[in-house]
């Protein structure tokens, strides 16, 4: 396939997580659905390819944005992520198989609370994006809910077996909170200021230009910016094709919730002053320079719910070695078959 054709397909597929995520053996069915095959079995317990796709979906789309041409780096990162996801799902089934889930009653509000937490942290609180991701993965909400219930059950089992012991000291709680406080804030209140250059995949002023030509232009432009051969403002005025081009590409302060989920996740990960891109955009390619990030404040450790979560985190870290050794013993005794 020619590079230009590949780029056009990527532009068209940015809003669709295809079967590439789970493996070539998963093909879309005739009516636009997705075949939900078995990705692996653990002592006869199935793990579906839809579960793998649902977990990989957001990461897959971010990789598409970061690596418009895909290529070796894209493939290696995707393979690494798929292996990690499948390994986590296998561990989950190992523990469930060992305990048979007897005696563990998970409350409804626990499940809904965890789902809402994931929608907030992974999809910037955008429930529509979350539901679209499920639909494209071939997983129903009910199936996803069952998957989350299994994970909460495993966490409860682990806590009952390994997380008991000496309570964390106030110093340990404070140290853990200091290291992870950003995880407890409401990310929807984050905001950012950046400069942006937008290069459309097709230029109405020159119909002969292909998506490949435009991508090459954005790559060359990024190189010139890195070498200081042109200022970001001058480059935006000359090459950018959006409403802020004449202003040197300067955008006003934007809330995270006002940005596309995947774009927000990428730009909020960049340090101020750093230039990133070219990034794949639904209509072309963007180069972004982050001016400043304004992150929502973290709730105080005196908040009972935050303190409970920090306490749980410390206990999990203290018991991690024993827990991993136990899971490895389960793996040695289990019958595990992987199909992707």
Share of the chain above pLDDT 70, in %: 88
Q: Which domains does the chain have, with CATH numbers?
A: 3-168 (1.10.4030.10), 187-294 (3.10.50.40)
DSSP structure string for 184-220: GS-GGG-EEEEEEEEEESSBTTBTT--HHHHHHHHHH
Task: Please tell me the distance from the alpha carbon of residue 311 to that of residue 307, in angstroms, as a whole number.
Answer: 6
Name which of 234, 209, 210 is nearest 221 in CA terms.
234
Task: Please tell me the distance from the alpha carbon of residue 160 to that of residue 100, in angstroms, as a whole number.
Answer: 14
What's the pLDDT at 329? 93
What token pair was written down for 297?
A: 């404040």
Classify residue 336 by burial, with Cβ atoms within 10 Å: 0-12, 13-18, 19+. Answer: middle
What's the pLDDT at 35? 65
Token pair 């950046």 is found at 194
DSSP at 256:
G
pLDDT band at 21 (very low <50, low <70, confident <90, very high): very low
> Would you call 303 helix, strand, or coil by DSSP?
coil
pLDDT band at 102 (very low <50, low <70, confident <90, very high): low
Q: How many CB atoms lie within 10 A of CB 111?
A: 17
Instruction: Pinpoint the alpha helices (H) of 245-340.
Output: 261-267, 304-333
Token pair 């999990």 is found at 316
Mean pLDDT, residues 56-76: 89
Residue 307 near residue 6 (C-beta atoms within 8 A): no
Least confident interval from 50-54, 205-209, 254-258, 279-283 = 205-209
pLDDT band at 192 (very low <50, low <70, confident <90, very high): very high
pLDDT tens sequence across 122-139: 898 899 999 999 999 999
Has residue 158 got a pLDDT over 70?
A: yes
What token pair was written down for 209?
A: 């230009």
List Cβ neighbours of 228 (8 Å cut-off, separation of 6 or more). Answer: none
Mean confidence (pLDDT) of the chain: 86
Name which of 298, 16, 55, 246 is nearest 136 in CA terms.
16
Cα distances (Å, whole numbers) of residue 59 to 17, 237, 335: 10, 32, 29
Has residue 169 got a pLDDT over 70?
A: yes
Has residue 12 got a pLDDT over 80?
A: no
Share of the chain above pLDDT 90, in %: 63
pLDDT tens sequence across 205-239: 788 889 999 999 999 999 999 999 999 999 999 99
Within a 13 Å sphere around the CA of 131, how many CA atoms are in the beta-carbon half?
4
Residue 20 near residue 224 (C-beta atoms within 8 A): no
Task: Please tell me the distance from the alpha carbon of residue 298 to that of residue 301, in angstroms, as a whole number.
Answer: 9
- CA end-to-end distance (rounded Å), the chain: 25
Rg of the chain taking only CA atoms, in angstroms: 23
């Amino acid at each position: 396939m020619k590079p230009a054709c590949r780029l056009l397909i990527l532009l068209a597929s940015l809003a669709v997580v295809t079967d590439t995520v789970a493996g070539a053996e998963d093909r879309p069915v005739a009516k636009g659905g997705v075949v939900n095959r078995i990705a692996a079995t653990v002592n006869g317990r199935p793990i579906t390819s839809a579960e793998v796709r649902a977990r990989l979906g957001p990461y897959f789309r971010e990789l598409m944005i970061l690596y418009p041409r895909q290529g070796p780096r894209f493939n290696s990162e995707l393979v690494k992520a798929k292996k990690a996801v499948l390994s986590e799902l296998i561990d989950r089934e190992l523990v469930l198989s060992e305990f048979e889930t007897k005696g563990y009653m998970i409350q409804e509000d626990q499940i809904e609370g965890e789902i809402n937490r994931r929608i907030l942290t992974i999809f910037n609180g955008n429930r529509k994006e979350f539901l679209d991701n499920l639909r494209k993965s071939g997983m129903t909400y009910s199936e996803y809910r069952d998957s989350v219930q299994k994970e909460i059950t495993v966490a409860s089992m682990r806590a009952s077996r390994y997380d008991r012991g000496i309570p964390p000291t106030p110093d340990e709680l404070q140290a853990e909170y200091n290291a992870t406080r950003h995880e407890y804030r409401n990310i929807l209140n984050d905001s950012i200021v950046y400069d942006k250059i937008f290069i459309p995949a097709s230029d109405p002023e020159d119909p002969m230009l292909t998506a490949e030509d435009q991508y090459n232009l954005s790559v060359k432009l990024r190189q010139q910016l890195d070498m200081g051969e042109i200022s970001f403002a001058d480059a935006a005025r000359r090459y950018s094709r959006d409403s802020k081009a004449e202003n040197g590409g300067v955008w006003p302060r934007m809330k995270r919730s006002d940005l596309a989920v995947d774009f927000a996740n990428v730009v909020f990960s960049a340090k101020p002053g750093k230039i990133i891109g070219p990034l794949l955009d639904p209509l072309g390619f963007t180069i972004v320079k982050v001016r400043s990030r304004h992150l929502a404040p973290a709730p105080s450790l005196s908040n009972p719910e935050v303190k409970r979560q920090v306490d749980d985190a410390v206990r999990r870290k203290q018991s991690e070695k024993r827990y991993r050794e136990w899971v490895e013993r389960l793996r040695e005794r289990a019958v595990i078959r992987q199909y992707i």
